[in-house]
Amino acid sequence: MALQCGIVGLPNVGKSTLFNCLSNAKAQAANFPFCTIEPNVGVISVPDERLNKLAELVIPQRVVPNTIEIVDIAGLVKGASKGEGLGNQFLGNIRTTNAIIHVLRCFDDGNVIHVDGSVDPIRDKEIIDTELQLKDLDTVIKRIQKVEKMAKTGGDKDAKKTFEILSIVKTHLESGKSARTTNISEEDFEFIGDLNLLTVKPVLYVCNVDEASVVDGNAYVERVRDAVKDENAEVLVISAQIESEITQLDSYEERQLFLDDLGLSESGVHKLIRAAYKLLDLATYFTAGVQEVRAWTINKGFTAPQAAGVIHTDFEKGFIRAEVIKYNDFITYGSENACKEAGKLNVEGKTYIVEDGDIMHFRFNV
């Protein structure tokens, strides 16, 4: 599954520094606006201790983790929705992503220029929110103009429903609120899903702080938490500078000692990757054999045939059954054969809903 999270924010908030820490791809990071002109894409592994433990037991030839793509998108300024700065390019790039990682500057440093002259994460957030909302409003109004006549004069039920949903979203956007905060159901949103509205995408707010604030946060972080409390969005506190220093250390032991000295249990990058994965409402199942132990990404709620289709479409088309071992059982008994002998291998059919952590083997015929 090709899943993308776009890193957005005003110029000079630490987006590119954070991207460099997340990915082997290197975005140019410098102390001036619009440093990143073209979107940089990095494929990153999702840290999952379960995969490591399975590999220790199975001892496979290779281990393949889940991955997601992180896109570093050019900085945004006021007026982007009308093409100011790199606005049109920015909005076009973000439209193709599945979720948004919104980086907010929550530290003071006179040596790092702020595009608006002062540090105010709430103002910065509102600038980007407004630009995305204005762009969506323009998109919604254009669609209303196309369906309004059919909705009011014809007998097209879908047109009427679409017009009704568009009208609700239009009013919401005009009040300065993002489309994802409406009470419209996911099913009803499908009527306008082809619009791929920017403010429907789930958001993870990343507060970029200084070293002194990385454990407990600061006043800027508290303001952000208060501002987004009604958005059903997660807030992470990370120091991009610290993460950059961690990437310079050669060994795992050195990195852990560095984190211990700061009072941190793990790096902010690992927290961010997992949070992005969660933001996309994803789950993981595993296949485990001597050739390969592998994590597979699925949407929560996938049936066994749908999960099989992630490996290959033929697996879904010719699905017969799935042999399932729960992760904890596999760890307890140590192998597939031991789980079978203990009666911990279940045979499931087409209606089985895959659970996060399931270890699966599919039987199919094409």
Q: How far apart are CA 177 and CA 140, in angstroms?
A: 14
CA-to-CA dists, residue 272 to 4, 80, 151, 173, angstroms: 14, 27, 44, 29
Q: Is 183 annotated as a binding residue?
A: no
Closest to 308 (Cα-Cα) out of 344, 352, 277: 352
* 239 phi, psi to nearest 5 deg: -105, 110
Q: Is 36 annotated as a binding residue?
A: no
Q: Is 17 annotated as a binding residue?
A: yes
Question: Edge to edge, what strands does the sheet with 234-238 contain?
Answer: 40-45, 67-72, 4-8, 99-105, 203-208, 234-238
Triad 270, 276, 281: Cα angle to 5°:
130
Quick check: 104 and 10 in contact, CB under 8 A?
no
Q: Is 171 annotated as a binding residue?
A: no
> What are the residues whose beta carbons fall under 8 Å from the beta carbon of 312, sequence distance 6 or more?
none
Q: Is 208 annotated as a binding residue?
A: no
Q: Is 14 annotated as a binding residue?
A: yes
Quick check: 85 and 34 in contact, CB under 8 A?
yes
Closest to 295 (Cα-Cα) out of 362, 209, 208, 356: 356
- Binding site per annotation, positions for ATP: 12-17
- Binding site per annotation, positions: 12-17
